[in-house]
């Protein structure tokens, strides 16, 4: 009988493409983007709760986001279900640290683990759960890391792509899974179009399922710093040595799990997730989550418009008036305002660097 999965919710990023609302201590997954002021972290916890026992769900976050994360999780998870990075160092170190914690909490080498970000949206929750469950079965049955792939609906250049092999494997009751032959991160438009037309590429949703012991072995085999670091971090966690943990964690390369492990993993499989997934990678992508109002979509204390259309406004507690404009994203906080054409919303990250260069790191 397959053990209940452990679930790791990765919630330590900053979401710079959602500036100025998103900051280091107020990241995208904690913003009140959803109706009723709910955030993506809360929605993600709710989405996965039926897949396992509540005590087997952990949120991985960074030290500078702990207070806000605990507040968001009130009534959903307890504070001791946080795994805290001493500093943000991307997803590979975060998952390595989380695996150390799971092993010390009784996680066995063959236990399935689901690792997923908290800043994405899913329309079909039941379909999403079914895809994750199939991935867990495949991870246990096969010597492989399993990822969820999203069949593409357009040649998007903001996503990574999974190059697929034939359906040579099955999981559970004969359900097919695809071999992953290659990862391609954010191709240009021509390449993305070829990928979509071929039918052999899926979007990479950044969701990975694996046996605890298998990913530990693969990560240690591919990267010596992680092999040594996980062993040393285990001793620090056992002894509650926070200074030592911070020192050992700081020695790990700050790198994503995709680049650190998945590109060179000896065996990767993928299951399809046709579930209305979006990574909400820019303000423009948030439109479907906002309310229809004058001049477009928005969330504000009062939104007024005259001869305006197709705009997106995010300014909770503010009054926003639009006259004679269309296709804009307008984001207002107490100390900054962003105005950008919706089709150029992906460029916001570059503006964050400009703000830092102007000596205003307090705004990031």
DSSP track, 84-108: EESS---HHHHHHHHHHHHHHTT--
Residues 253 and 293 in one domain: no
**Residue 277 is assigned to a structural domain of this protein:** no
**Domains contained in the chain, number:** 2
Q: Are residues 37 and 91 in the same domain?
A: yes
**Quick one: how far is CA 68 from the chain centroid?**
18
pLDDT for the residue 1: 47
Do residue 257 and residue 301 come from a single domain?
Answer: no
Residue 51 lies in a domain: yes
Write out the chain's pLDDT in tens, 364 residues: 468 999 999 998 877 889 999 988 889 999 999 988 899 999 999 999 999 999 999 999 999 999 999 999 999 999 999 999 999 999 999 999 999 999 999 999 999 999 999 999 999 999 999 999 999 999 999 889 999 999 999 999 888 999 999 877 677 777 788 999 998 888 999 999 999 999 999 999 999 999 999 999 999 999 999 999 999 999 999 999 999 999 999 999 999 999 999 889 999 999 999 999 999 989 999 998 999 999 999 999 999 999 999 999 999 999 999 999 999 999 999 999 999 999 999 899 999 999 999 999 999 8
Tell me, yes or no, whether 48 lies in a domain: yes
Domain end: 272, 295, 315, which one? 272
Instruction: State residue 171's pLDDT score.
Output: 73
Dist CA 112 CA 115 (whole Å): 10
Q: Is 161 domain-assigned?
A: yes
Q: Verify that 41 and 139 share a domain, yes or no.
A: yes
Q: Closest Cα to residue 146, out of 272, 10, 56?
A: 272
Last residue of a domain, one of 241, 272, 303: 272
Mark which of 211, 238, 272 sits at the end of a domain.
272
291 and 261 fall within a common domain: no
Decide if 278 is inside a domain.
no
Whether residue 193 sits in one domain with residue 321: no
Q: Are 348 and 331 in contact (CB under 8 A)?
A: no
Q: Do 208 and 342 fall within a single domain?
A: no
- Residue 1 forms part of a structural domain: no
Q: Is there a single domain that holds both residue 33 and residue 101?
A: yes
Q: Quick one: 179 and 242 in the same domain?
A: yes
- Whether residue 116 is contained in a domain is answered as yes
Q: Which residue has the tokens 């900054």?
A: 336
pTM of the prediction?
Answer: 0.92
Q: CA 141 to CA 149: how far, in whole Å?
A: 19
- Integer Cα distance of 293 and 304 in angstroms: 8
Q: Are residues 120 and 218 in the same domain?
A: yes
Q: Which domain holds residue 312?
A: 283-363
Q: Are residues 97 and 203 in the same domain?
A: yes
Pairing of strands 337-341, 328-332: antiparallel
| H-type alpha helices, the chain | 40-48, 66-72, 91-104, 125-141, 189-198, 212-222, 224-238, 242-250, 257-260, 348-357
- Among 119, 105, 116, 138, residue whose Cα is nearest residue 69: 119
Angle between helices 40-48 and 125-141 (to 10 degrees): 60
What's 73's domain CATH number? 3.90.550.10
314 occurs within a structural domain: yes
Q: Are 92 and 249 in contact (CB under 8 A)?
A: no
What pLDDT is attached to residue 158?
85
Q: Are residues 52 and 140 in the same domain?
A: yes
């Amino acid at each position: 009988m397959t053990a209940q999965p452990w679930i790791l919710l990765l919630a330590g990023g900053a979401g710079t493409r959602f500036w100025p609302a998103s900051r280091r201590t107020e990241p995208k997954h904690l913003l009140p983007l959803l109706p009723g002021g709910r955030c993506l972290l809360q929605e993600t916890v709710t989405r996965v709760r039926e897949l396992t026992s509540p005590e087997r769900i952990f949120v991985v976050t960074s030290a500078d986001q702990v207070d806000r994360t605990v507040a968001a999780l009130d009534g959903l998870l307890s504070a001791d279900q946080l795994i805290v990075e001493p500093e943000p160092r991307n997803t590979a170190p975060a998952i390595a640290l989380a695996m150390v914690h799971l092993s010390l909490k009784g996680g066995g080498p063959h236990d399935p683990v689901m690792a997923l970000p908290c800043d994405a949206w899913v329309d079909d929750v039941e379909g999403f759960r079914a895809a994750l469950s199939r991935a867990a079965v495949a991870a246990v049955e096969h010597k492989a890391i399993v990822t969820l792939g999203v069949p593409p609906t357009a040649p998007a250049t903001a996503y990574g792509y999974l190059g697929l092999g034939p359906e040579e494997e099955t999981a559970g009751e004969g359900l097919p899974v695809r071999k992953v032959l290659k990862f391609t991160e954010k191709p240009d438009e021509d390449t993305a179009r070829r990928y979509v037309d071929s039918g052999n590429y899926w979007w990479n949703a950044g969701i990975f399922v694996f046996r605890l012991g298998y990913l530990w072995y693969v990560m240690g085999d591919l990267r010596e710093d992680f092999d040594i670091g996980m062993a040393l971090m285990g001793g620090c966690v056992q002894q509650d040595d926070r200074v030592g943990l911070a020192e050992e964690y700081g020695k790990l390369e700050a790198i994503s799990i995709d680049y650190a492990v998945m590109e060179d993993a000896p065996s990767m499989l993928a299951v399809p997730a046709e579930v209305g997934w979006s990574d909400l990678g820019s303000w423009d992508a948030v439109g479907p989550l906002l309310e229809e109002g004058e001049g477009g979509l928005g969330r504000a204390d009062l939104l007024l418009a005259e001869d305006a259309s197709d705009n997106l406004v995010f300014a909770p507690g503010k009054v926003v008036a639009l006259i004679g404009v269309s296709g804009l994203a307008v984001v207002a906080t107490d100390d900054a305002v962003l105005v950008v054409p919706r089709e150029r919303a992906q460029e916001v990250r570059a503006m964050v660097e400009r703000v830092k260069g102007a000596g205003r790191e307090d705004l990031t």
